[in-house]
Chain A
Amino acid sequence: KQEVTQIPAALSVPEGENLVLNCSFTDSAIYNLQWFRQDPGKGLTSLLLIQSSQREQTSGRLNASLDKSSGRSTLYIAASQPGDSATYLCAVCLISNFGNEKLTFGTGTRLTIIP
């Protein structure tokens, strides 16, 4: 059974600092990995999707890396801003028992950027 872990559960950093969020998964046979952000009481917003054949993806101040062999992904946020405060979730996509794809989510890291 795929397990996805995100450590730490919560993180506070001063505005302007660069930071890294971590995600680890137990089954390396994944199709892709996605990073989402969730604002309080709201749904999820997809940030980056990395296919299993890729090593990293970038979008603005965000950079996500993927190391399938070690079962790890990182989300790098450069020059953090108060608007980056949210819960960040990673999710891996793998074949389900029914032969279709499904997402397995991590427990998330609650990020607070201190002005």
Chain B
Amino acid sequence: KAGVTQTPRYLIKTRGQQVTLSCSPISGHRSVSWYQQTPGQGLQFLFEYFSETQRNKGNFPGRFSGRQFSNSRSEMNVSTLELGDSALYLCASSYSGGYQETQYFGPGTRLLVL
């Protein structure tokens, strides 16, 4: 079974631009979560989608948004990029997102904002 895939793997943007990242979960998984990882803040939860609905969200500004499609693929969008948005963005999938399940992580998208 193929793992979680994320595209693109690397991205360079300039301040003020917007960016869209994509995540394809493991086949059959319906829950997709997004995380931001930076050296200073570590791994922080962004939001979780299940069956095309945002079910949970972390403490990030409204510039960070996401969506999920009917095939469970998910995208996250960051508008008006800031230097501090430079980070590794990870997505994780699980069957239902329940607390008893293991989350499977993708390799991440490394975003550099100049």
Contacts of A34 in B (CB 8 A): 102-103
Question: A105: CB under 8 A from chain B?
Answer: yes
A63 part of interface (Cβ distance < 8 Å): no
Residue tally, chain B, CB below 8 Å to A: 26
Please determine whether B110 and A98 come into contact, CB atoms closer than 8 angstroms.
Answer: no
Residues from chain B with Cβ under 8 Å of A107 in the complex: 42
If A89-B43, A102-B45 touch, does A32 touch B100 (CB 8 Å cutoff)?
Answer: yes
Residue from A42, A91, A103 with most neighbouring chain B CB atoms (10 Å): A103
Known contacts A43-B90, A46-B102, A101-B99: does B4 contact A106 (CB below 8 Å)?
no
- Residues of chain A whose beta carbon lies under 8 Å from any beta carbon of chain B: 31-32, 34, 36, 41-46, 49, 51, 89, 91, 93, 96, 98, 100-108
Interface residues of B (CB under 8 A from A): 4, 33, 35, 42-45, 48, 55-58, 90, 92, 97-100, 102-108, 110
**A to B CB contacts below 8 Å, 27 in the list:** A31-B100, A34-B102, A41-B108, A41-B110, A42-B107, A43-B106, A44-B92, A44-B105, A45-B105, A46-B103, A46-B105, A49-B102, A51-B100, A91-B43, A93-B99, A96-B56, A98-B55, A98-B56, A100-B48, A100-B55, A100-B56, A102-B56, A102-B58, A103-B103, A105-B43, A107-B42, A108-B42
